[in-house]
Each structure stands twice: as C-alpha cells, then as structure tokens.
Amino acid sequence: MDWGMKNRLSQLIKEDGKCFFMPIDHGYFQGPTTGLEKPGETIKPIIEYCDALFCTRGVLRSCIEAVGSKPIILRVSGGTSMVGKDLADEALTTSIEEIIRLNASAVGISVFIGSAYEKQTLNNLAQLVNQCENYGIPVMAVTAVGKEIEKREARYLALCCRIAAELGARVVKTYWCDKDFDKVVKGCPVPVVIAGGPKCETEKQVFEFVYDGMQKGAIGVNLGRNVWQSPHPVAMAKALRAIIHEDADIKEAQDIFNETKNKKSKSK
Ligand code: 5RP
C-alpha cells in the first residue's frame, strides 16, 4: 500500500485496529435532522471521543473548525431527498479537486444494491475509486437501503459488502443484523464498520448491537443518531468508545454511561 493511502487509513483506524466514526451527514437528504440543526454545536461535547467525522463539504466549510479538526470522511454522494421520488437515485456530488482541496482523509458514498439504481450507484462507487486511488484517498462504501429497512439481513448485507469491496472500497459500512453478522464480516475482504440506524429505545440496545458486532469482527462504528439524539450524548459517546477501544462489555459500557450521566446531572 502506498504511503499516502496508509497514512490516511491510519488517521481513521487507530493503532488497535478499531475506529469510532461520527456521522453528521444526514442533512444531505433529510434536511435539518433533529439534534443536527446546528452540526457544529452538536459535535462540540462529543467530538473528543470519536476518531473521525463523516460530513458533506457544505457542513464542513460552514460548521467545522479547520484548525485542530478530527480527520474528515467526506460524504460525496447525494442529489436526493426524503420527499423526492427515490433515495437511491444518487449521483457523485464532489469532484476529486474538491476532495483534495478539503484535505479529506477519506470519502464516503452510498450504494443501493437491489434497487432500481443499483448499476448507477455501483458505477458511482467504481468511478470514485478510480479517481481517489490515484491520490491515495480511501473510499468508504455505505451499503444503504433507503426506506426499505427490512432488507437488513445477513444474506443481503453480505452480498452488498462483498460487491462494494470488489469494486475497490477500502472500508465498508453496513448494518448490524442479529443473525449471522459474522458471515457478513467474513465474506468481506476489507474492514467492516457498523452503521447506527434509527434511534434505539434504550442505550443498552445500542451497546448490545455494537458489542455483538465487534465480537463478530467489525472494526468499529459509524453511528450518529443514537449518540447525538440521546438526552445524554457525552455518556453515550464515552460508553461506545469504551466498547470499541477498551474492550468494555455491555455492563461496563452501561456503568460508564450511568456514571457520566449522573456526574453531569449533579454538576447542574
Ligand atoms: C446516511 C448515512 C449516515 O452516516 C448513517 O445513517 C449513520 O448515521 P446513523 O447512526 O444516525 O444511522 O450514511 O446514509
């Protein structure tokens, strides 16, 4: 692997081989998502616990401090919205010059396998890999399902991850599933990162799926709403960091969550 690619990947995936990415890219199709109305404010208290930020160029330029920033994974696909015809009808939104100008450590792009836009979004991925590999910039493929969340089962996810890796993604982000998640990871020749998905009812549910996914071979998470839509985002971020980087189990994560939450309420 060339020095530039290796160096960028090492900014994202830490020495222990694990990573905690914080996505704040939701506005690119959802608009001002709850909890993310002011992305710069949202991330202030939690950023220290994360390894990288996943966002669009618009939010990067207008909301994120350039000096002392965490590594950036730039969201470079889009062109659809929640109120439009089909979330899968995405295009590449950002040129390679812009990716370099913004000093992105990686880029992220969605693929919608099994949708009417399968070929188009896979072609977007392939073209992006062609451009980014020339400059040593890793591409993270996001195996997206749009509104069809029932698609989140192992056979489908394994298919998506493998195809994304075959087309050249250096990292693949996919959903966790309760059955056979290990098969999803084993069938993918590049590291797999777990997506967050819609907000869970309890923090314990989040710790459970992240812990299980890590035990089954994922290298980390790209998880947003379950952190910054929580009433206790710092406690969530600290607890998840402990599962990812400190081998904490579910109980230990829950203890960290409770301790942080209680400390905060006492100091009010
Ligand atoms: C949207 C994305 C987001 O990064 C992804 O949804 C992760 O965020 P969350 O944990 O809130 O689901 O790729 O397509």
Is the shortest distance between the CB of 143 and ligand 1 below 6 Å? no
Please give the pLDDT value at position 197.
Answer: 73
Structural domain boundaries enclosing 232: 3-266
Average pLDDT, the chain: 95
Nearest CA to ligand 1 atom 1: 26
pLDDT number for residue 151: 72
pTM for the whole thing?
Answer: 0.95
Is residue 173 among the annotated active site residues? yes
From the number of C-beta atoms within 10 Å of its C-beta (0-12, 13-18, 19+), residue 118 rates as: middle
Q: The CATH number of the domain where 252 resides is what?
A: 3.20.20.70
The percent of residues above 70 in pLDDT, for the chain, comes to: 98
Which DSSP helix (H) or strand (E) runs through 146? Answer: none
Q: Taken in order 5, 11, 17, 23, is the CA torsion positive or negative?
A: negative
Across 247-263, average pLDDT: 97
Number of compact structural domains in the chain: 1
* Cβ 54 under 6 angstroms from ligand 1: yes
Considering only 59-73, 109-123, 138-152, which range has the smallest mean pLDDT?
Answer: 138-152
Instruction: Kindly list the distances between the CA atom of residue 215 and the CA atoms of 66, 76, 156, 219, 244, in Å, as whole numbers in the listed order.
Output: 35, 30, 20, 9, 10
Distance of CA 19 to the CA centre of its chain: 10
Q: How far apart are CA 150 and CA 189, in angstroms?
A: 25
Question: Residue 222: CB within 6 Å of ligand 1?
Answer: yes
Give the total residue count for the chain.
Answer: 268
3-state secondary structure of 161: helix
Measured CA to CA, the distance from residue 2 to residue 224 in angstroms comes to 31
Pocket test for ligand 1, best of 20, 21, 26, 109 (most atoms within 8 A of CB): 26
pLDDT in tens, 233-254: 999 999 999 999 999 999 999 9
pLDDT category at 267 given cuts 50, 70, 90 is low
Q: Which of the following is catalytic: 18, 173, 216, 261?
A: 173
Integer CA distances (angstroms), 21 to 35, 47, 101, in order: 17, 10, 21
Token pair 């208290």 is found at 45
The H or E element spanning position 220 is strand 220-222
Confidence (pLDDT) at 268:
59
Q: What is the pLDDT of residue 127?
A: 98
